[in-house]
Amino acid sequence: MTFEAVLEDFTRTIEESSARLLSLTDAEAAGRRAEGKWSAKELVGHLIDSASNNHQRFVRAQLSEDLVCQGYAQDEWVRAQKYDAASWPLLVNLWKFYNLHLAHVCRHAPERERLRERRRHNLHEVGWAEVSPAEPATLEHLMRDYVGHLKHHLRQMLGEV
């Protein structure tokens, strides 16, 4: 799939999924799928955290020679921000608009920066679909990986996305 097609699908997914997420009641969004699993509120909170961290990665990578990205402790971030106590519409709308902005950032990243191979990276540590540290990585891979991660979690909440 071309990068432009990935971004079109990403934008459509954000728009369609946000409408479906908003159809859930607060009580439905607060319910856990299983013991030890995140609720929809916490899962959307995790996706907000992912957007926040990847926003910085996407911008910094355009200004850097490598793709070494800072990680974050996702469970602790979700707990610390008390997403389970937040307003469901606020969470969904924050997620929606943050991701529409990320689609804009991705769409306007210069092709030479998106496709430039970086030998030094840690996508094997911070990526969803790992890249071997022995192989070069690109910013475009990281961007596509972000979309894949987001869609994975939406499937968990909404079924096929």
Which domains does the chain show, CATH number per domain?
A: 3-158 (1.20.120.450)
Please state, rounded to an integer, the average pLDDT across all residues of the chain: 96
Place 161 in a pLDDT band, splitting at 50, 70 and 90: low
Q: Answer whether residue 136 shows pLDDT above 80.
A: yes
pLDDT, tens only, 4-51: 999 999 999 999 999 999 999 999 999 987 888 999 999 999 999 999
Q: Give the whole-angstrom CA distance, residue 12 versus residue 87.
A: 24
Structure tokens at 38: 């995140």
Count CB-CB contacts under 10 A for residue 105: 14
Q: What is the DSSP string of 10-41?
A: HHHHHHHHHHHHHTS-HHHHHSBSSTTSPBHH
pLDDT of residue 159: 82
